[in-house]
Structure 1
């Protein structure tokens, strides 16, 4: 079996592949990870993606080990691979259950050394740690809030890279301002710009739905607005690994973005899910 080669949050949120990953994450798991081809094509059409682009994206996800063709009776479809389902489940904790670290929790440090003869693994290791949202203290030394230690270890194990690393829990004992320290470890300006883009794209959409007396009367529209908002959000909890507010600029824009994401889920999650069930049953 092909090993899944890309984490869902690594895929550009603007691509059909990212939308399909969201469909499987949101709606396939109650059916053991399976969606029919007809359902995938229909739902992607509702998201503005034509059938040819959808089938091309499904093919790419199949090649990457994310999807496996499987029939349910006479109905052709695709099932998320076991590894893909495990990654999606792990992502649930990060995306829907993320909590912010506190100032006294400390850090997890990852120190790696990869021989020149295995430089491909060095690239994979850096990509894995970047995807998890770790900051960089210096060459070969990465850092994250301590509450992510289990997630970091699980990702290193899944990628087969644990043997190239040493992982520590640590306390920062310097008297330096934590805001300055964290700003040196993470690109907060880029992160702030990404949060601002999310707010720009989706604040108006949420406001329109809040003015609607009954979103359940427009389930197809709810679905078409909900999935792109979830897809765009999915990468943000990895770029910002739940850094302590004490280490972030005052009035951190990420809090407004988190509130917007929560509003989307409250407003549209259920109407969108009911629409998908209607499509699956038709």
Structure 2
């Protein structure tokens, strides 16, 4: 299968998080159905393969994915796609065919971890905004698609007509991304303060579709709250259920740091569901991560 230009440029773990989705919203929309195996395989390889030596036997990956409800054919297809993306490479050991995370994957996972697990306090409204305007020739429209995709992954909101915005603290990340893509000739960057005329909260609500984001957060809370309650009084969570619950929590959560740029609290509703969602996820991570890793260690012992 021949890769398009956007596939080649987008072939990092970050550009494929929470799956191989083009944008974080397309990943959110594919939270079930055909897209699920390739999303979950990223979580399994990223969350467990690294702390356990960077290599798993393929048969053991199939077994873990089966515990998550994914059949062998879908798992092998997802692994093949990750190999084509340059994220996994074959490494056989006596008695076992296996896969290892590539250097490219390890580097990308470090960046992804900072985004997904790092502190994300709200931006300060007084710091202002970073604005980006771009113009890409029609005969290079694949690059236009790549740039839009990367802006979405960075958490930028779209004001329309090639104009995007984010809290000013995203300036360095934007500059790094544009330089890595080699797109400097297409992009103009500005630092700005908003002075009118539409209410800023209304403008921000449209640029990021906060109503949709609030719905997604509420859905996560509704899914995660019963899981968290189940483990609340368990002193040492372990076994397959700890692995399943933590992996699925990670799978459902990881889109949010890409959809939500950490807007100033002045622009968010008082009952913003994102606060509760973050509280639930990080509490569940603290409770279940060690037990989940221990379960995977036992399954993948070689």
Q: Distance in 1 between matches of 2:241 and 2:52?
A: 23
Q: Residues 160-210 of structure 1: CA distance to partner in whole angstroms, max 9, x if unpaired? A: 434321223323244764322311321011111111111122211111111
Question: Do residues 247 (structure 1) and 267 (structure 2) align?
Answer: yes
Residue 190 to residue 70, structure 1, CA distance change in 2 (3 Å) = same
Question: Tell me, which stretches of 5 or more residues in structure 2 are unaligned?
Answer: 21-26
Greater mean deviation of Cα atoms: 78-87 or 263-272: 78-87
Q: Which of 172, 185, 190 in structure 1 is aligned with 2:212?
A: 190
**TM-score of the aligned structures, taking structure 2 as reference length:** 0.84
2:75 is matched with 54
Residue 165 to residue 84, structure 1, CA distance change in 2 (3 Å) = farther
Q: Which of 246, 255, 271 in structure 2 is aligned with 1:235?
A: 255
**TM-score of the aligned structures, taking structure 1 as reference length:** 0.90
What SS is found at the alignment partner of 2:127?
A: coil
2:58 is matched with 37
Question: Tell me, which stretches of 5 or more residues in structure 1 are unaligned?
Answer: none
Q: Distance in 2 between matches of 1:88 and 1:64?
A: 14
Greater mean deviation of Cα atoms: 232-241 or 49-58: 49-58
What SS is found at the alignment partner of 1:250?
A: coil
Note if contact 2:242-2:288 (Cα within 8 Å) is conserved in structure 1.
yes
Report the alpha carbon displacement of residue 27 of structure 1 after superposing the two structures with TM: 1.5
Map 1:1-282; keep pairs closer than 5 Å.
3=8, 4=11, 6-11=15-20, 12=27, 13-14=31-32, 15-31=36-52, 33-72=54-93, 75-99=96-120, 100-174=122-196, 177-211=199-233, 213-216=234-237, 218-281=238-301
Residue 10 to residue 50, structure 1, CA distance change in 2 (3 Å) = closer
Residue 86 to residue 151, structure 1, CA distance change in 2 (3 Å) = farther
TM-align CA RMSD: 2.2
2:23 is matched with none
Greater mean deviation of Cα atoms: 221-230 or 165-174: 165-174
2:24 is matched with none
